């Protein structure tokens, strides 16, 4: 099962909004005779690849798979049909699939056909692997990654706004790799005005993320790289109802402008995520700045953090930090992170943490 989970992870960025799935086939004597993973959205599932590789050697053997085989006709035929046709005697699944058209039906069909079924092997690891898929199914909201680079004293720019570059080239390359596997990159108006970012993955990854800009007031630069490239790479601008006209020029040049509810603190983060979830976006990367990061933290919407700490001391009370917003008054209310790791990234340190230990955030 550990090998099947490693195979499944190879589909990251290529299969979403489908889950990552890996499969291994053992013959009747217990030898590995086939393996596979879900390689791209709309393509054959992991079980089909693994069973095809095993051929007749699968008959009487065991299929080890990280997620319950599907039992419905989607973009591909039901995997349960392939399992039964292969003559597999036993199926070991890490977890059931909560997708409504499966939801235990695949396992039940296999049991009814006389296949021995076991569920729950390495389930925690399987849930961790597909936490974003599970969250989208359960809440209709995508998995939210927050990313920033900062100095050792927690500054993301100097008091004059100079921020390029705090992190080193190795860290920036990691960010480009992350961009290449997400569905959207979110920034606020301040980042567009200060940095004029392109928000693309260089070199391109398996996904080409939509660039998302939040501006409740509907105020953005007349010219910038996002607007100039909106016809080539999608740009989605969220603004408060009634302010769409202020950025009509962006729409005329290819950006999609969508009005959302807004309050005193700006756009509703939940409304932003609900709209992205409606578009079946699974992973969303929030790149800031501080006000946007703070808004997502205040809304309890951060699932995973990517923080690059550079060996710099910037100082200055007026130099910005990584997060703004209201924050918390008492430490007991602070967001507690699990599974935090630290790794070298050139001269920097890359800190990675998730909100929960392998579950779906609330």
pLDDT of 188: 95
For 150-164, the pLDDT digits (tens) are 999 999 999 998 888
Cis-peptide, bond into residue 77, ω within 30° of zero: no
* Preceding amide of 215 cis, omega within 30: no
Domain limits of the chain? Answer: 2-129, 138-354
pLDDT in tens, 188-226: 999 999 899 999 999 999 999 999 999 999 999 999 999
Q: Which residues, 6 or more positions from 333, have their beta carbon under 8 angstroms from its beta carbon? A: none
Q: Summarize the annotated binding site for NADP(+) as residue ranges.
A: 149, 165, 191, 195, 199, 289-295
Check whether 50 has a pLDDT greater than 90.
Answer: yes
Mean pLDDT over the full length of the chain: 94
Say whether 351 sits in a helix, a strand or coil. Answer: strand
Give me the DSSP letters along 194-207: HH------SS--S-
Q: What is the pLDDT of residue 356?
A: 63
Q: What tens digit of pLDDT does each residue of 64-83 get?
A: 999 999 987 777 788 999 99
| Inter-CA distances, 51 with 107, 162, 211, 314, Å | 17, 56, 39, 57
Binding residue numbers for substrate: 163, 179, 202, 287
Superfamily of domain 138-354: Dihydrofolate Reductase, subunit A (3.40.430.10)
List the catalytic residues: 47
Q: Please give the annotated binding residues for Zn(2+), written as ranges.
A: 45, 70, 79
Residues sharing a CB contact under 8 Å with residue 186, sequence separation 6 or more, in sequence order: 212, 213, 214, 272, 284, 285, 286, 287, 292
Q: How far is CA 309 from CA 151, 156, 264, 270, 319, in A?
A: 6, 10, 32, 29, 16
Measuring CA to CA, which residue among 266, 292, 100, 262 is closest to residue 184? 292
Peptide bond into 203 cis (omega under 30): yes
285/211 Cα distance (integer angstroms): 10
User: What pLDDT is attached to residue 359?
Assistant: 39
CATH topology of domain 2-129: Cytidine Deaminase; domain 2 (3.40.140)
Question: CA 16 → CA 42, 51, 124, 151, distances in Å?
Answer: 10, 23, 20, 34
> Please, what is the end-to-end C-alpha distance for the chain in angstroms?
28
């Amino acid at each position: 099962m550990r090998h099947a989970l490693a195979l499944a992870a190879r589909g990251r960025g290529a299969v979403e909004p489908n889950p990552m799935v890996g499969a291994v086939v053992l013959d009747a004597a217990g030898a590995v005779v086939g393996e596979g993973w879900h390689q791209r959205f709309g393509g054959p599932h992991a079980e089909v690849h693994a069973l095809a590789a095993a051929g007749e050697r699968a008959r009487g053997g065991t299929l080890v798979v990280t997620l319950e085989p599907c039992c419905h006709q989607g973009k591909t035929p039901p995997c349960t049909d392939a399992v039964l046709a292969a003559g597999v005697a036993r199926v070991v699944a890490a977890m059931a699939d909560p997708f409504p058209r499966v939801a235990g039906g695949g396992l039940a069909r296999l049991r009814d056909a006389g296949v021995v079924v076991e569920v729950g092997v390495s389930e925690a690891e399987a849930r961790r692997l597909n936490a974003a898929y599970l969250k989208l199914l359960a809440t209709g909201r995508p998995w939210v990654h927050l990313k920033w680079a900062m100095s050792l004293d927690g500054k993301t720019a100097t008091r004059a706004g100079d921020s390029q570059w705090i992190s080193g080239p190795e860290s920036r390359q990691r960010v480009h790799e992350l961009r290449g596997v997400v569905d959207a990159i979110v920034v606020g108006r301040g980042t567009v005005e200060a940095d004029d970012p392109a928000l693309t993955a260089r070199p391109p990854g398996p996904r080409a993320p939509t660039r998302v800009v939040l501006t409740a007031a509907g105020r953005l630069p007349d010219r910038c790289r996002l607007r100039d490239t909106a016809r080539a790479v999608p740009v989605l601008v969220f603004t408060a109802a009634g302010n769409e006209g202020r950025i009509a020029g962006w729409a005329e040049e290819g950006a999609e402008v969508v009005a959302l509810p807004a309050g005193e603190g700006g756009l509703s983060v939940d409304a932003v995520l609900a709209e992205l979830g409606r578009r079946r976006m699974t992973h969303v990367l929030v790149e800031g700045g501080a006000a946007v990061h703070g808004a997502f933290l205040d809304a309890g919407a951060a699932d995973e953090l990517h923080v690059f700490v550079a060996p710099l001391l910037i100082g200055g009370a007026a130099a910005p930090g990584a997060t703004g917003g209201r924050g918390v008054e008492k430490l007991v209310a602070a967001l507690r992170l699990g599974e935090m790791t630290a790794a070298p990234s050139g001269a920097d340190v890359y800190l990675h943490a998730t909100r929960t230990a392998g579950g779906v955030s609330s």
